[in-house]
A and B are shown apart, each in its own frame.
Chain A
Amino acid sequence: MRYEAPETVDKAVALLASMGRKARVLAGGTDLLVQLRAGVVEPEMMIDIKKIAELRSIAREAGGFRIGAAVAGAEIREHADLRKAWPGICEAANLIGSTQIQGRASMGGNLCNASPAADSVPALIAAGAKVTVVGPAGRREVPVESIATGPGKTSLADGEFVVSFLLPPRPAHASDAYLRFIPRTEMDIAVVGAGVNVTLDAKGVVSAARVSLGAVAPTALVVEDAAKALIGTKGEAAALDALAKAASAACRPIDDKRGTKEFRIQVAGVIARRTAAKALERARKV
């Protein structure tokens, strides 16, 4: 196996193009190295993208934030401005594994590993984040929800990789939250995850909302009915109940070692409601 650590996006693209599927992109490595050890993947080349400055930085852009795909969860947590504007994104990135994992794991990796239970993905989807993808044909910017197409599968073409995420500007009275259900308090993969992003008008009425659920379908879901249940309300109990109902209704989960179908459907509503309540509370304060 070869190891390359290109310092520019162009060099990475060229390497990836030359190796095709025989290469794997290494960001934090917290999923990839486990797969490598288990013999699940046997690449001929590891392309470490962490030496590319663009992939490792968090910067203001167009009133929002651009977050490099290989920025580690801990670095996201430590970015005060980002945390203030997008607390939900930060808490989701912070739930990817232990403190040690957060020292390495990136949102780019979390997205491209394409686990239905990826914590940062519902938060990013709820945020309306865009992802910049680069490949032999150049750059394209697409919604986060268009990347994962099924467990372990992405829409990335051969030779493409994710460069960064773009979070939109924050209007007043807007905030987000991410909560998940796990059997323990830490170290588990989400059984249900919910990202909720809300904007309130001056009177405290929800003017915009996005709700996304993880671990309840082959990919993270955008639950428009749940968002609709909030819009035009002040987030009263009835609205939250309607949101919960919509969230449960949207689930298409499986029975597995982490939870039963029935359980996931029921708890998805609960977690969606709790997440929405948290996002609303935050939005009222900013």
Chain B
Amino acid sequence: MAEATTAPAKRKLKWVGKRAPRPDGVDKVTGRAKFGADLFMSGQLVGKVLRSTLPHARIKSIDISKALALPGVKAIVTRDDFQDMASEFVPAGEMMINYKDVVRNIMAREKVLYEGHPVAAVAATNAAVARQALKLIKVEYEVLPHVIDVDEAMKPGAPLLHEDMITQGVEPAPTKPSNVAKRVQFAVGDIEAGFKKADVIVEREYHTQPVHQGYIEPHACIASVSEDGQADLWVTTQGHYVVRAHCARLLGWDISKLRVTASEIGGGFGGKTVVYLEPVALALAKKAQRPVKMVMTREEVFRASGPAPGAWVKVKIGATKDGRITAAEATMAYQAGAFQGSPVQMGCMCAFAPYDLENVKTVGFDVVTNRPKVAAYRAPGAPISEYAVECALDELADQLKIDPLDLRLKNAAKEGTRAVYGPKFGPIGMVETLEAAKNHAHYTAKLGPNQGRGVASGFWFNIGGETCASINVNEDGTVSLIIGTPDIGGSRASHAQMTAESLGIDLSKVRTIIADTSMLGYTFLTGGSRATFAGGMAANQAAGDVIKQLCSRAAKIWEIPEDAVAYEDGFVKPAGANAGKFPALSIADIAKKAGKTGGPIVGHAQINAQGAGPSLGTHIVDVEVDKETGRVSVLRYTVIQDAGKAVHPSYVEGQFQGGAVQGIGWALSEEYIYGADGRMQNAGFLDYRMPVASDVPMIDTVIVEVPNPRHPYGVRGIGETPIVPPMAAIANAIGHALGTRLYELPMSPPKVLKAIGQNEAKGQGRGH
């Protein structure tokens, strides 16, 4: 009998690797697809949130009486409507959250901790009434001093966000509270000894600003709770099972009472892995006994969701003259926002992960500030620390007069390399992407005046996790694949392709449906680059289950033993001459008779996917600097990355391209700008400058395939690594164009122009 779980990778693939049509495509080009804000329910109310305009204040009182009396107001919730919760950390995407903090983040309790922090929420018959009601809610505050900057927050005497926060991971434990939630450290070897062996040491400090995920669809949901406590939630999210878990916990409900349906999702990039509006909408819907729809404005998205942290990173790398790194050290502080839990630990783990090093030490600090709590953003933590390391490596290459790709090749991690955080790598594609970069025409193309080229590499772990899949074999032999990971960018297509491949049937016979939370067991969210990897693994196992049942049914029809049949390309056949002579049965033939052979055929898999292989990438970029204005133009860009196996190459390329352009924004123009009053000044797309179409060139891609041996089709997650290298690649390119380097993101025109001015002044000083 066929073993669908292992066999497919070895045979010639028919669907995996094809640029197949996308099941949700037509709906999305015709406007038919329903996103978070696109569902309407009869009798629905509009929910709106009253948010703090202060960055830090104690709430003395909240008076909702006038708002409640306004005609059309159906319910108001405040901190009093949510039970306080004890400290308990649970995973949210690749990051951890603490319920004690989440309950405070969705609705402020003792204090407001950032501008935008929810204080109350209203459900009313229309938006105008809801807005008017918000104005009638009276909140009395005791204003407290605030702190926005990481460095300031770490200083003794800084305003304390949480009066009881004692830094964890420090021995002996500090006696006084501070804004440093945690210190983490990873180390192997002896860095002191390593630096002693070094001929050259580069030591630099880098600063980055918070950046938002920038999904075009704001957070949105609609909640309905019936009189008997059964609830439905429609929401744009990367993980509706995770939303269900969080909402049920925060509201004290049984999980079974709450059904969550994932709408089409208009981008997430990690930012839609946590709850903001959802528990509030449910609480309002329960109180009002009417459906409540809540949609964030873009301003709310900026002031109260996301972002990725801003940080400082100190890097020290030593190497011998021939380019072998002898020791590497990085210390970094990431701002977590109002509650602990920045991705600094992953920053520490990833910083030097692309390299095979004997002596490494990374130390990280998780620091709270009066900003919105950070959320995952594509490879959370990694882009910041790796930006710093990849810039320092480039300076090292310059000083050693070694080609920067050769320096990386000389130190590249490979199969068997032990990562600073513990495990030994299986087959990984670092060397392959570096070699592909060296051989790419881009790398040796001529540059003009004021132009520079930069390279950088990037690493991301990728994850697996809990995943369910069911395959219903329909009466006509077509199949429905039911999967629990929201499709954020084409995963329905790749899941269908892998299912068609595993079953050996035509792709057009497979339709992928995203389950609501009642249809499948717990399935972790779309994040960590896991959806195609883990969903494909589960779908493949479910297909194996289907095949087993098909074989059993055929054996029953033929009245021969089950091990006397074989499955091949959508047909069950007698396994050999001894089994008897029967015409092969198609899935349709067997499905038609399923009622008589034991009932419907449904394949299922519930797994905790293991063996997600890391994905490594190397980027090449050419920039031109306008030396009179400091404006940087990206002229040419190439992404080279290991995909393991590209199930749908177009969407793999799309991930590479999208990540690169987000990285261009991070490098050149995106940042949160705060005033002295602790309020964000650029909470809109006008002044939070994400790249527009005319800002960027075509993004060339090279898909490297070093198969992941732990996946039936060799798949690795690929969605996150593409955002890791751009910032350093661009910084290095600017460095080469100018002959001077910048150490701070974004490398906006004022900073570039200043660096040019300082460099010229230095040059003149030397020259005269």
Residues on A lying within 8 angstroms of B by beta carbon are 38-39, 181, 183-189, 191, 256-260, 262-263, 266-267, 270-271
Contacts and interface: CB of A to CB of B under 8 A. Distances in A.
A189 B688 CA distance: 12
Given A184-B691, A185-B694, A186-B692, A257 B673 contact: yes
Given A257-B682, A267-B629, A185 B692 contact: yes
Contacts of A38: 299
B491 interface: no
6 contacts: A181-B631, A183-B668, A184-B692, A187-B689, A189-B687, A267-B753
Interface string B688-732: 010110110000000000000000000000000000000000000
B695 A185 contact: yes
Contacts of A191: 749
A63 B686 CA distance: 39
Interface string B671-689: 0010000000110011101
Contacts of A39: 131
B673 A259 contact: no
A257 B750 contact: no
B137 to A, nearest CB: 15
B629 A260 contact: no
A191 B750 CA distance: 11
B669 interface: yes
Given A183-B749, A185-B694, A270 B687 contact: no
Nearest to A266: B753
B629 A181 contact: yes
B686 A187 contact: yes
A39 B134 CA distance: 13
B687 A258 contact: yes
A7 B19 CA distance: 56
Contact of A183 (B299, B673, B681, B748): B748
B694 A189 contact: no
B227 interface: no
Contacts of A263: 630, 749-750, 753-754
Nearest to B688: A257
**Chain B interface bracket (under 10, 10 to 19, 20 to 34, 35 or more):** 20 to 34
Contacts of A258: 687
B629 A270 contact: yes
A257 B692 contact: no
Contacts of B673: 257
B164 interface: no
Contacts of B689: 183-184, 187-188
A267 B750 CA distance: 9
A96 to B, nearest CB: 13
Nearest to B691: A184
Q: Which 10 A-B pairs have the closest CB atoms?
A: A263-B750, A185-B694, A270-B628, A257-B673, A257-B681, A260-B750, A186-B694, A185-B695, A257-B682, A187-B692
B404 to A, nearest CB: 28
Contacts of A185: 692, 694-695
B398 to A, nearest CB: 28
Contacts of A271: 629
Nearest to B681: A257
Contacts of A257: 673, 681-682, 687
Given A181-B631, A183-B631, A189 B750 contact: no
A36 to B, nearest CB: 12
Contacts of A186: 692, 694-695
Name, among B628, B682, B687, B753, the residue most crowded by chain A CB atoms within 10 Å (CB to CB). Answer: B628
**Majority-rule SS of B interface residues:** loop
Contacts of B750: 259-260, 262-263
Interface in B268-300: 299
A187 B686 CA distance: 7
Interface in B727-768: 748-750, 753-754
A117 B218 CA distance: 29
Nearest to A188: B689
Nearest to B674: A257
Given A184-B695, A263-B750, A189 B629 contact: no
A185 B694 CA distance: 6
B687 A184 contact: no
A245 to B, nearest CB: 14
A188 B669 CA distance: 11
A39 B132 CA distance: 11
A188 B686 contact: yes
Given A39-B131, A181-B631, A270-B629, 5 more contacts: A184-B691, A187-B686, A187-B692, A189-B687, A270-B628
A260 B630 CA distance: 13
B211 to A, nearest CB: 15
Nearest to B628: A270
A189 B630 CA distance: 17
Interface in B365-385: none
Contacts of B299: 38
A187 to B, nearest CB: 5
Contacts of B695: 184-186
A184 B633 CA distance: 9
Contacts of B131: 39
A185 B748 CA distance: 13
A18 B748 CA distance: 49
A274 to B, nearest CB: 8
A181 B752 CA distance: 14
Interface in B614-648: 628-631
Nearest to A261: B750
A47 to B, nearest CB: 21
A268 B390 CA distance: 35
A185 B689 CA distance: 11
A181 B630 CA distance: 10
Nearest to B693: A186
Nearest to A263: B750
A39 B686 CA distance: 18
Contacts of B681: 256-257
A259 B629 CA distance: 12
A263 B749 CA distance: 8
Nearest to A39: B131
Contacts of B630: 263, 267
B138 to A, nearest CB: 18
Contacts of A189: 686-687
Interface string B472-492: 000000000000000000000
Interface string B145-169: 0000000000000000000000000
B293 to A, nearest CB: 18
A259 B686 CA distance: 14
Interface string B551-565: 000000000000000
A184 B669 contact: yes
Contacts of B754: 262-263
A38 B692 CA distance: 24
A44 to B, nearest CB: 15
A264 B164 CA distance: 45
A71 B13 CA distance: 59
A84 to B, nearest CB: 25
Contacts of A260: 750
A1 to B, nearest CB: 10
A183 B299 CA distance: 21
Interface string B106-135: 000000000000000000000000010000
Interface in B15-43: none
A259 B751 CA distance: 10
Contacts of B687: 189, 257-258
A183 B689 CA distance: 8
B669 A183 contact: yes
B324 to A, nearest CB: 41
A130 to B, nearest CB: 31
A188 B689 CA distance: 8
Nearest to B748: A183
A225 B686 CA distance: 33
A280 to B, nearest CB: 18
Nearest to A187: B692
Contacts of B682: 257
Contacts of B631: 181, 183
